[in-house]
Amino acid sequence: DIVMTQSPDSLAVSLGERATINCKSSQSVLYNSNKKNYLAWYQQKSGQPPKLLIYWASTRQSGVPDRFSGSESETDFTLTISSLQAEDVAVYYCQQYYSTPWTFGQGTKVEIK
Amino acid sequence: VQLVESGGGLVKPGRSLRLSCTTSGFTFGDYAMSWFRQAPGKGLEWVGFIRNKAYGGTTEYAASVKGRFTISRDDSKSVAYLQMNSLTTEDTAVYYCTREFDYWGQGTLVTVSS
């Protein structure tokens, strides 16, 4: 199974400041035929289902604000919130869909400092 | 796009339960359908998925549920199902139905307890 490891487990950021969440996969999730990383990011607010933010590691889902961005470097992935808003308080998860079983990181809790 | 799970509730260990996922707003037959779960206070876990008919309608499962859970679909009704047998307390969770992995339902709580 591919193990996804997120860091940090939690972070507190001031409103308007940048938040950065890291995710590392235990093996490549790059599909050579299309050169895409099979990596998604989700946001889960308290009491709500997860919401897809990013897929293919860096493609923003329709309707997601452009302050959310994803980047990739081999087996290291980053979700960046460029200017944290109050409504961004949530737990964020990365997930690989390269191979089954699909696996998630443990989650990163983002709070306001 | 809407997905609505139903069928959750309290069930005793060893018993069975079937969840339904009723969908609308998209061409159901064009998509794989997945199930995920989240135990209370815990992270997300993939349960399994069923491919669409164009890809054989085949299924994949997490090791923790393989042999006990079965995913099926009725394209004529735009509904996906999760049949859960031999339930244990470890299966207690909110179960989410998703279109592949982009749209999620609100979830249905399954509590396995004596």
Q: Would the CB atoms of B101 and A103 count as touching at under 8 Å?
A: no
Residue pLDDT, tens place only, A6-24:
999 999 999 999 999 999 9
Residue pLDDT, tens place only, A48-81:
999 999 999 999 999 999 999 999 999 999 999 9
Residue pLDDT, tens place only, B40-72:
999 999 999 999 999 999 999 999 999 999 999
Percent of chain B at pLDDT exceeding 90: 99
pLDDT of residue A66: 96
Does B51 reach chain A within 8 Å, measured CB to CB? no
Tokens representing residue A36 in the block: 């895409």
Q: Would the CB atoms of B96 and A50 count as touching at under 8 Å?
A: yes
| Interface with chain B: mutation pick from A99, A100, A106, highest number of B CBs within 10 Å | A100
The mean pLDDT of chain B is: 98
Q: Is the pLDDT of residue B80 over 90?
A: yes
For residues A58 and A71, the answer to whether their CB atoms sit within 8 Å is: yes
Chain B residues whose CB is inside 8 A of the A55 CB are: 101-102
The mean pLDDT of chain A is: 97
User: Which of A10, A8, A16, A18 is closest to A86 using CA atoms?
Assistant: A16
Does B62 reach chain A within 8 Å, measured CB to CB? yes
The closest CB to that of A100, out of B60, B101, B103, belongs to B60
Q: Would the CB atoms of A104 and B45 count as touching at under 8 Å?
A: yes
pLDDT of residue A42: 98
Q: Is the pLDDT of residue B1 over 90?
A: yes
Q: Would the CB atoms of A103 and B60 count as touching at under 8 Å?
A: no
Long-range contacts of B68-76 (CB under 8 A, 24+ apart): B71/B33, B71/B35, B71/B47, B73/B28, B73/B33, B75/B28, B75/B29
CA dist B100 and B31 (Å) reads 7
pLDDT of residue B101: 86
How many angstroms away from the CA of B60 is the closest CA of chain A?
A: 7
Span between the terminal Cα atoms of chain A, in Å: 36
pLDDT of residue A110: 98
pLDDT of residue B42: 97
The number of CA neighbours under 13 Å toward the Cβ of B45 is 18
What ranges make up the beta strands (E) of A39-113? 39-44, 51-55, 59-60, 68-73, 76-81, 90-96, 103-104, 108-112
pLDDT of residue A40: 98
Give the residue-averaged pLDDT of B7-14: 98
Does B55 reach chain A within 8 Å, measured CB to CB? no
The closest CB to that of A97, out of B62, B101, B105, belongs to B101
For residues A83 and B43, the answer to whether their CB atoms sit within 8 Å is: no
CA-to-CA separations, B89 to B63, B83, B112, in angstroms, rounded: 16, 16, 5
CA dist A92 and A109 (Å) reads 6
CA dist A89 and A46 (Å) reads 9
